[in-house]
């Protein structure tokens, strides 16, 4: 297993933790009976600030996780693991771990900086994969 794939596994585990935290807070705020419905009608109880933050943090992870998983899998299939890709994958995973409590607590500017660090790490992975790709296969595709 590459370091990049291990970082992906860490981020997947983080995602599961985020689902558990968000679902637990949802049930605490709205109650288990409401949580077990189809929720066709809005709850009579407003979301707590924590529930809103956990929901938005989870949505944010959903926005970047497919790109991260995709590029990490592509790098593994290309057998392209470098110091840069290993560091970028670990930085992405670490930043996502730090991002969750910052968002849950409601710390605005530091949270944004940590998100930017994770996004730069993601871009680094994509640029590395693009640079290592065998573009000659496009010529043989036609």
DSSP output for 24-67: HHHHHHH-HHHHTS---S--SSPPPHHHHHHHHHHHHHHHHHHH
Confidence of residue 138 (pLDDT cuts 50, 70, 90): confident
Q: Which of 75, 92, 65 is nearest to 128 (CA)?
A: 75
Average pLDDT over residues 120-140: 94
User: pTM for this one?
Assistant: 0.93
Average pLDDT over residues 36-60: 95
Which residue carries 């409401």 as its tokens? 34
Are 10 and 26 in contact, with CB atoms under 8 Å apart? no
Tokens of 98: 């730090």
Q: End-to-end CA distance of the chain: give it in Å, rounded.
A: 34
What's the confidence (pLDDT) of residue 31? 93
Residues 6+ apart with CB under 8 A from 51: 22, 25, 26, 29
């Amino acid at each position: 297993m590459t370091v990049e794939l291990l970082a992906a596994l860490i981020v997947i585990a983080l995602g599961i933790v985020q689902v558990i935290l968000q679902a637990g807070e949802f049930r605490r705020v709205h109650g288990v009976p409401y949580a077990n419905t189809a929720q066709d009608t809005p709850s009579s109880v407003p979301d707590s600030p924590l529930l809103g933050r956990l929901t938005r943090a989870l949505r944010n992870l959903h926005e970047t996780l497919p790109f991260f998983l995709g590029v990490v899998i592509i790098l593994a299939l290309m057998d392209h693991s470098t110091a840069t890709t290993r560091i970028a994958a670990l930085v992405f995973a670490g930043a996502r771990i730090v991002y969750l409590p910052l968002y849950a607590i409601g710390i605005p500017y530091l949270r944004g900086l940590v998100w930017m660090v994770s996004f730069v790490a993601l871009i680094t992975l994509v640029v590395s994969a693009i640079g290592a790709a065998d573009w000659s296969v496009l010529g043989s595709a036609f």
